[in-house]
Structure 1
Amino acid sequence: MTTVHSDQIVVEEYPAPRPSLRLSVVTETWPPEINGVSLTLSRLVQGLCARNHQVQLIRPRQTRVDQALSHSGYEEVLMRGMPIPRYPELKLGLPGKRALIQAWTLKRPDLVHIATEGPLGWSALQAARRLRLPVTSDFRTNFHAYSEHYGVGWLREPIVAYLRKFHNLTRLTMVPTQALRADLMGIGFENVQVVARGVDTQLFNPGQRSETLRASWGATPRSIVLLAVGRLAAEKNLDLVVRAFDAMRAVHADVKLVFVGDGPLRESLQQRCPQAVFGGMRRHEELAAWYASADLFLFPSVTETFGNVTVEALASGLPVLAFSTAAAADWVRHDGNGWLVDVNDDTAYLRVASELAAQPQRIAQASEQARAQVAQLDWQQIARQVEDLFLQTMPDVTP
């Protein structure tokens, strides 16, 4: 507030309130589907609604009985979809340009935000351009990197070309790390802005630790419990988790390995490592307890755009051993709250794992520092940052 004196009249000037935006958010994945895109996007949408924006969520119908939700400030529009090859529990949105043009003509949004680049996302982009609506986008999945793990590496360049064209047709693209921003701009992406991912620090915290849960894994207070969380799939580089487990057992007599998640590699991993605990899918408080009850988080993936599990582990007081990429590069401090090794240097990864098995007190010391690094990643703060970027893309609206 400022006070302006004009002759003998005192005028109080208050800053103009921020406008309530009508936002249309387009995504091909949404809870109860469990993946980093659906979970983080749902938290962002909650944060935007809490900031008094009206959100229209456009997504594929997940089941035949799926019903669109609608309540104050939030509504869903369900589109046609089909199962994704190799990911049958997920849906790929089918093209729907005509339906979107009709919906947005009847109820025009102030801005369209596209979270995924599938057929539904492309239709949304084309419909928004036809109606001259401002569009922003997220880059959330390294599809071009995944191609190497599924035997179609020759598709990498066409995928990159499509993603570059898609995102450069939007007013800005949001990415979660500075490193990813530099990588994308290096291959011709434009208007790339960094927006970190949040973490629920109330849910994920060291107080969720359970000695009863540890005992169910066969662990004692002297055990080193290793945890890996995520989809059990080729692109996650889980062979290195098993190799690290073997390397640590060669040094320390009592090491346990726990997997949380499911996927096409589960059966082969169980055959390869029958000593491991396979917990399947875990959610909410149960997942938080599994994080907090372990001792060291192993994250060997090099294909992540962020890796939400990294910050969830840190918030739970669980130090991380990872390659220096994605979220780990930004939030893990080497020999502080975890350990980083150069990307794709498997030998260094295994060497550090062995050293930690020989000096378990280093793991305990890192656990004490793990949470402090990510305490600032509150979802309301992230929603505020995204709101600022939305407003900046709308020249007729003053932030």
Structure 2
Amino acid sequence: MTDPTTLPPPSTDRPLSGRDLDALEKARPTSGTASTERRPLRIAIVTENFLPKIDGVTRTLAMLLEHLQAEGHEAMVLGPATPLKTYAGAEVVATKGIPLLGVYRGLGLNFLRPRFIRKLREFKPDVIQFTDPIWLCAQTIPMVQLYFPDTPLVSSYHTNLAMYATLFGFSWLTPIMWALQRSLHGRCDLSFCPSPSTARMLEEQGFENLRIWPRGVDVELFRPQARDYALRQSWGAEPHDLDADRPSPRVHATDSNRSVDDLPALALPPPYTPVAVPHFTASGPSKLVVLYVGRISWEKNLRLLIEAFRGLQDPDPAQNRPACQLIFVGDGPARAEAESLCAAYGLGAQFLGFRKGEQLAAAYASADIFAFPSFTETFGQVVSEAQASGLPVVGLRAEGVSDLVEHGKTGLLLDLNELTACASGARRAPQQRVSDSRAIPADVHALLDLNASSFPVAVDMYRELLKYMAIDHEHRRNMTSAAYQVASKRSWYGAMEQLVDGYRELSALRTKRHAEAATQDSPTLSRVPTVELDVICDAPASGAEEVAAASSATTTPKRRRLLRLNGVLRRTGGNIREGSATLQPLRSWLGASSIVTAEPTAVAMKHGEKQLLVRLLEMIVFVSLLYLGVSCLSRSDLLTEVLVA
């Protein structure tokens, strides 16, 4: 095994960017058979979460809708309340729900509305996708299976809700959440997840029919050239007397009125070339910027980062380590508490709030190290964006992140399996600690709980990784170059086409089933049996017959044929679809008013009764869920107290 600290020099050849890979994917030749399968599709997406809320799920859905529109497909979104009527050419059909104010701001318990089914009937989708199915999708999936039994269903797994239940203090809900998610995903023909490590976790939980749906990164937006020295000055990481040959500021984070087109072009070297970093001294004014981007919430394990950063805000002359500046980009329910904690520790951390577009790109590129301590990710989109911006990552070897970061080459990962060994004093060098052959612990939340004996050990280990990254400048520069080269090959087009290939596969199977059913249902009289059914009963006896019957007890009562049903019965799934009947003898026996004839009007009445029954069932389910939601909302104060405690 090679030493992770020794890296080959970066290639002088320009690597293919994500844009180049997109062009190659689109130009890939297709055979005649494949071209027929690449017809435009109609995709309906049912989601628990949608814009304008911004997170990893909504950004991925936005990229998917834009991709479907660019490739000529039609889409429709069924989801929570939103001011949007359309997005990327797709109609957005919204519903109402009860917000989870005391549990998770921005999400709610949304309810199925009959309009969803009407819109799906009008849209006639080739495939229906359920995004992170849990509540709204749990109501929608049975109705879709009732109304569209032949339409392929796809699910996509984005959020580790079972672990979130434990982190929020509802550990008793974890097995229930796993069972519910396993059941909902199991109702679909294919289930997509974003990373191999997440797929392994789901397989251990009993999920089936799993496929990988990776993510791409916008290398035109997130790039090392977006480094803004004026922004670094505002962070206190750069001296105010910048060298004359340094590039002009690209975007100042506090200036949202200037157009990017009006700013001067940068003169940085190509992004695949290592950017020269000056040799830091303890007395120098420059600082290393440690950046976190994401939701400011405790389930992101931010307490580990804050505790580990203690002491790094000051330089260390003995180790020739510069002072570090901690920057948070994002917003969330724990922001105020995190700011207070950082201020109490004297860390000098800055919280910039929500950023997007060029401002977010400038924040990434203006940092030096990306710290991401979360262990609940299924992919970690911000990790890809940081790598594309030329940042090495200091994270945890957990689901999602471990698929993006190669320890010692594109970043450093804390191996949670080493907590016990480190607690006993058997520590190894930070850059040599990770063993990829060891499984990720299933009880990570228990290891990193504030009250666990392993938490202080984890803090020390994470601090060591940050220190190593701040001291070894040459290794950090090599990881910067390698991280960009790896991230620049993550094509959004290729990632989205993996999902669309699953759509096409299921659509082709559906077409094949229809063709086979049409062949089997073709009427062939020589092969279709004829069923004759005689219905007889005791006929009323005349007066003479009654006398004869009375005189002879052994005489068999006279029977008369009342009805003969002749017809061709076609059996498909146990249902009789066609038939002919002669009911006139029965009419004379029972009376005309009692006869229900098998005419089109009667069939329509039967269909209407079925629709009425379904509507009643819908109403019962809706009222039940509404009552449950109101009950949960009435206990929101209690839930808040539990969470705070």
TM-score (norm 2): 0.57
In the alignment, residue 100 of structure 2 is paired with which amino acid? I
Q: Quick check: 31-40 or 158-167, which moved more?
A: 31-40
Aligned to 1:323: 396
Q: Secondary structure at the match of 1:90?
A: coil
Check conservation: 2:198, 2:399, Cα contact below 8 A.
yes
- Work out which of the two has the higher radius of gyration on C-alpha atoms and give 1 or 2: 2
Aligned to 2:117: 101
Q: 1:68 aligns with which of 85, 105, 130?
A: 85
Q: 2:126 aligns with which of 96, 106, 110?
A: 110
Aligned to 2:332: 263
Distance 1:237 1:388 in 2: 36
Aligned to 1:7: none
Aligned to 1:26: 46
Cα distance change, pair 211–159 in 1 and its aligned pair in 2 (3 A)? same
Cα distance change, pair 17–195 in 1 and its aligned pair in 2 (3 A)? closer
Q: 1:334 Cα deviation (Å)?
A: 1.5
In the alignment, residue 43 of structure 1 is paired with which amino acid? M
Aligned to 1:239: 303
1:193-242 deviations in Å (ceiling 9; x for gaps): 11111111111111111000010000027311000111111110001111
Check conservation: 2:95, 2:113, Cα contact below 8 A.
no
Q: 1:17 Cα deviation (Å)?
A: 6.1
Aligned to 2:136: 120
Q: Quick check: 122-131 or 38-47, which moved more?
A: 122-131
Cα distance change, pair 368–23 in 1 and its aligned pair in 2 (3 A)? same
1:164-211 deviations in Å (ceiling 9; x for gaps): 001001111110111111111111111111111111111111111100
Distance 2:33 2:152 in 1: 31
Distance 1:14 1:342 in 2: 44
Distance 2:71 2:305 in 1: 41
Check conservation: 1:24, 1:58, Cα contact below 8 A.
yes
Map 1:5-16; keep pairs closer than 5 Å: 15-16=35-36
- Is 1:396 matched up with 2:477? no
Distance 1:219 1:259 in 2: 14
Aligned to 1:283: 356
- Is 1:45 matched up with 2:65? yes
Map 1:147-186; keep pairs closer than 5 Å: 147-186=165-204
In the alignment, residue 470 of structure 2 is paired with which amino acid? A
Aligned to 1:134: 152
Check conservation: 2:48, 2:110, Cα contact below 8 A.
no
Aligned to 2:516: none
Check conservation: 2:127, 2:503, Cα contact below 8 A.
yes
Distance 1:68 1:93 in 2: 21
Q: Secondary structure at the match of 1:273?
A: helix
Cα distance change, pair 93–45 in 1 and its aligned pair in 2 (3 A)? farther
Distance 2:156 2:85 in 1: 23
Cα distance change, pair 326–397 in 1 and its aligned pair in 2 (3 A)? farther
Distance 2:100 2:36 in 1: 46
Check conservation: 2:222, 2:385, Cα contact below 8 A.
yes
Distance 2:342 2:502 in 1: 46
Map 1:49-60; keep pairs closer than 5 Å: 49-60=69-80
The count of residues paired between Structure 1 and Structure 2 equals 386
- Is 1:343 matched up with 2:420? no
Q: Quick check: 139-148 or 81-90, which moved more?
A: 81-90
Distance 2:482 2:228 in 1: 20
Q: Quick check: 113-122 or 336-345, which moved more?
A: 336-345
Cα distance change, pair 171–97 in 1 and its aligned pair in 2 (3 A)? farther
In the alignment, residue 306 of structure 2 is paired with which amino acid? V
Cα distance change, pair 189–70 in 1 and its aligned pair in 2 (3 A)? closer
Aligned to 1:226: 290
Check conservation: 1:24, 1:113, Cα contact below 8 A.
yes
Cα distance change, pair 364–95 in 1 and its aligned pair in 2 (3 A)? same
Cα distance change, pair 53–14 in 1 and its aligned pair in 2 (3 A)? closer
Check conservation: 2:312, 2:323, Cα contact below 8 A.
no
Check conservation: 1:57, 1:76, Cα contact below 8 A.
yes
Q: 1:362 Cα deviation (Å)?
A: 2.6
Q: Secondary structure at the match of 1:196?
A: coil
Q: 1:373 Cα deviation (Å)?
A: 0.7
In the alignment, residue 309 of structure 2 is paired with which amino acid? F
Higher normalized strand content (fraction of residues): 1
In the alignment, residue 396 of structure 1 is paired with which amino acid? R
Instruction: Could you tell me which runs of 5 or more consecutive residues in structure 1 were left unpaired when the two chains were aligned.
Output: 4-11
Q: 1:14 Cα deviation (Å)?
A: 9.4
Identity of aligned residues (%): 32
Check conservation: 2:78, 2:116, Cα contact below 8 A.
no
Distance 2:401 2:500 in 1: 25
Distance 1:15 1:239 in 2: 52
Cα distance change, pair 326–86 in 1 and its aligned pair in 2 (3 A)? farther
Q: Quick check: 234-243 or 120-129, which moved more?
A: 120-129
Instruction: Could you tell me which runs of 5 or more consecutive residues in structure 2 were left unpaired when the two chains were aligned.
Output: 1-28, 239-277, 279-285, 420-457, 513-645
1:354-375 deviations in Å (ceiling 9; x for gaps): 2223323432332122111121
Q: 1:18 Cα deviation (Å)?
A: 1.3
In the alignment, residue 47 of structure 2 is paired with which amino acid? T
Q: 1:387 Cα deviation (Å)?
A: 0.8
In the alignment, residue 258 of structure 1 is paired with which amino acid? I
Cα distance change, pair 226–269 in 1 and its aligned pair in 2 (3 A)? same
- Is 1:190 matched up with 2:208? yes
Cα distance change, pair 88–323 in 1 and its aligned pair in 2 (3 A)? closer
Q: Quick check: 180-189 or 330-339, which moved more?
A: 330-339
Check conservation: 2:213, 2:496, Cα contact below 8 A.
no
Cα distance change, pair 87–46 in 1 and its aligned pair in 2 (3 A)? farther
Q: Secondary structure at the match of 2:483?
A: helix
Q: 1:387 aligns with which of 497, 500, 517?
A: 500
Distance 2:399 2:49 in 1: 21
- Is 1:333 matched up with 2:403? no
Check conservation: 2:414, 2:461, Cα contact below 8 A.
yes
